């Protein structure tokens, strides 16, 4: 069903897709060797391009023409191209984003503020990634999961919200920055859930939403068994995966996971309601948040003897 809110997202996505194509063509022309490194990542970026119109929604919510945020949306898309890449030479999203904004007709003071926001989100993502790599595989908790999401996706969406407010304000609006951070956390939880193979018994690879795993590890004896398996059994062992899937789908774990998603959703919606925003873009932002609660939860299974 097409609503004014969904139409707004679709329209901005269409405009962004064309603008990003032009930006990538410029990179290919001016920086052919660098372009060769980012081609694969750029293709992946196109699959999630609707996620990068957040700045346009913020601008529209503040009563301005969302097209004003197009350069910011392109910069965000360029940042995400290499945000999670380990390929040598491909970790250049922040530089590409700043290169794009440098050509925008805007006061130097605004550009400097934008560059500061990009640097802030990039250093947060780098610090978060290093912390994640240094943490033992079996060391997982709700606190570390949310810290990781807040430091990476949360920082990126907070940046986009702050940069959007700088189109009209001399300083970034902390209210929108705070909402953007939690909105980013929710988008990462949504993406984690979509990648899950917990309910796919025949899938050769077990992919678990980190927040679900964190709740599973807290479930008494079942949680201790799960932690033991993570520490001692090879991750690709079929027997181990079968047991892990059962532990991850216990009713208590699934219930705690679903309850946590509802709690975080409610907090994000509360922050949105506190902001002075236009009805249609607010509905679009709310619809995106609501989509996470509409995701099917893992099929609960009773555990015998655990």
DSSP letters of the chain? ---HHHHHHHHHHHHHHHHHHHHHHHHHHH-HHHHHHHHHHHHHHHHTGGGGGHHHHHHHHTTS-GGGGHHHHHHHHHHHHSTT--STT---HHHHHHHHHHTS-S-HHHHHHHHHHHHHHHHHHHHHHHHHHHS-TT---HHHHHHHHIIIIIHHHHHHHHHHHTTT-SS--HHHHHHHHHHHHHHHHHHHHHT--TT-TT-SS----HHHHHHHTTSHHHHHHHHHHHHHS-TT-HHHHHHHHHHHT-HHHHHHHHHHHHHHHHHHHHHHHHS---HHHHHHHHHHHHHHHTSPPPPP---S--
Q: Which two tokens stand for residue 16?
A: 């962004």
Q: What is the pLDDT of residues 233-259, one digit of tens each?
A: 566 666 778 888 888 999 999 999 999
For the chain, list the domains and their CATH numbers: 4-293 (1.10.600.10)
- What local confidence, expressed as pLDDT, does residue 300 receive? 63
Mean pLDDT (whole number) for 205-231? 83
pTM: 0.92
Question: In the chain, pLDDT over 70 holds for what percent of residues?
Answer: 91
- Give the span between the Cα atoms of 231 and 23, in whole angstroms: 45
For helices 142-149 and 174-194, the axis angle rounded to 10 degrees is 120
- What local confidence, expressed as pLDDT, does residue 236 receive? 62
Q: What is the pLDDT of residues 252-301, one digit of tens each?
A: 999 999 999 999 999 999 999 999 999 999 999 999 999 999 999 998 65
């Amino acid at each position: 069903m097409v609503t004014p809110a969904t139409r707004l997202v679709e329209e901005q996505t269409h405009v962004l897709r064309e603008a990003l194509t032009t930006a990538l063509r410029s990179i290919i022309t001016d920086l052919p060797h660098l372009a060769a490194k980012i081609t694969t990542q750029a293709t992946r970026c196109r699959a999630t391009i609707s996620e990068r119109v957040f700045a346009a929604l913020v601008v529209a919510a503040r009563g301005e023409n969302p097209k004003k945020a197009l350069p910011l949306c392109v910069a965000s898309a360029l940042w995400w191209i290499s945000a999670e890449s380990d390929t040598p030479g491909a970790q250049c999203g922040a530089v590409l984003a700043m290169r794009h904004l440098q050509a925008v007709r805007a006061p130097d003071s605004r550009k400097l503020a934008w560059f500061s926001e990009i640097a802030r989100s990039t250093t947060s993502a780098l610090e978060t990634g290093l912390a994640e790599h240094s943490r033992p595989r079996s060391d997982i908790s709700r606190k570390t999961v949310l810290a990781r999401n807040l430091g990476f996706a949360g920082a990126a969406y907070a940046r986009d919200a702050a940069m959007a407010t700088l189109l009209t304000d001399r300083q970034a609006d902390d209210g929108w920055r705070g909402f953007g951070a939690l909105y980013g956390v929710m988008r990462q939880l949504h993406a984690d859930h979509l990648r899950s193979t917990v309910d796919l018994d025949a899938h050769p690879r077990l992919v678990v939403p980190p927040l679900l795993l964190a709740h599973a590890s807290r479930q008494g004896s079942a949680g201790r068994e799960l932690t033991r398996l993570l520490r001692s059994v090879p991750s690709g062992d079929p027997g181990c995966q079968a047991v892990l899937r059962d532990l991850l789908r216990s009713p208590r774990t699934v219930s705690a996971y679903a309850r946590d998603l509802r709690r975080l959703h409610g907090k994000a919606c509360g922050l949105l309601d506190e902001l002075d925003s236009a009805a249609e873009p607010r509905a679009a932002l709310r619809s995106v948040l609501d989509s996470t609660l509409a995701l099917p939860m893992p099929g609960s299974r009773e555990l015998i003897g655990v």
